[in-house]
Chains A and B, each alone.
Chain A
Amino acid sequence: MKVEHVNAFYVATQEVFKTMLDLGVEKGELRIVEDMVSSKDANVLLGITGDLKGSILFGFPNDMALKMVNIMSGVDMDKIDTFVSSALGEIVNIIGGNAVTSLSNYNYMCNIAPPQIIVGKYKSISMASERSLLIPLNTEIGKFDVNIFLAETKNED
């Protein structure tokens, strides 16, 4: 996994959080993990195809997920219902779209699949036993994780 590929998703996350939620996002210590597991209350899985193939998993803790939707809607949320999970899915979809656009500037042409929302902790979702990169992210309203696994399918000249 190249730094600029991972960075495309990090930068897109920062931009979208700024525009949609008025929130800054800071990166914590990166880790390599053996397995992609949804370890948070609300998880959104984004599939990537094309010159890069893999998955990006966003994991949000319960309170943060509710607060995010509260910031956008102005309405207090008390549970992760379809409105909340769909809104999280939409945010991740926008992040994915922006990341794919910036990857195309490096001549990597990719597509995103519609995000899948997984509510509930500890479901293993990795398809292969590939290691992935875990980026812990920090905001004023809580910490969340982005798990990235990307493999190149393009032959380098």
Chain B
Amino acid sequence: MMWKERYRIGVDLIDNQHRELFRRLSSFIQVVQNEDPWDQKLDDVKSTLNFMQEYVVYHFEDEERYQREIGYPDYEEHREAHAKFKEEINEYVRLMEEEGFTEESIQELAARLMTWLIMHVGKADQRIGEYAKSREGME
């Protein structure tokens, strides 16, 4: 289980999406890391990757909208971090489409996705929750 209770920021919409995001990432990692021969599972690898990528885009949009709604002061910086990450994955996938989806390149990508998301949700997204709470206190 990748989702941890301490990732919770106290905003249901975001927390549920984060949980779903980790669930999809986890299925991707499980397919990448299982013992099946690479050429046999390649289609599965690609579709779980795609399934996760789609959700990343969808979730980032929702999370950014939420930040705008509450007037989150670090919105620009956060939006940029999302954009850079999306761009990085797209570039990675584009490169693999050109040069082939090797086991090594996919494992590298899986590691990058995992560490980025843990760090992002565990740290940067927590500040959104803190701001949302402080704002409630002011109202």
Chain A residues within 8 Å of B, Cβ to Cβ: 16, 19-20, 22, 72-75, 77, 81-84, 86-87, 89-91, 94
Contact A86 B119 (CB under 8 A): no
Residues of A within 8 A of B116 (CB): 90
Residues of A within 8 A of B111 (CB): 82-84, 86-87, 89-90
Number of A-B contacts (CB under 8 A): 58
Residues of B within 8 A of A75 (CB): 26, 29-30, 33
* Minimum CB–CB distance for A144 against chain B, Å: 17
Alpha-carbon separation in the docked complex, A82 to B17 (Å): 29
Residues of B within 8 A of A82 (CB): 103-104, 107-108, 111
Sorting the interface of chain B by its residue count into under 10, 10 to 19, 20 to 34 or 35 or more gives 20 to 34
Alpha-carbon separation in the docked complex, A84 to B32 (Å): 12
Contact A90 B115 (CB under 8 A): yes
Contact B114 A87 (CB under 8 A): yes
Residues of A within 8 A of B108 (CB): 82-83, 86
Residues of A within 8 A of B26 (CB): 73-75
Alpha-carbon separation in the docked complex, A54 to B114 (Å): 29
Contact A74 B1 (CB under 8 A): yes
Contact A77 B112 (CB under 8 A): no
Contact A19 B4 (CB under 8 A): no
Residues of B within 8 A of A89 (CB): 111
Contact B2 A94 (CB under 8 A): no
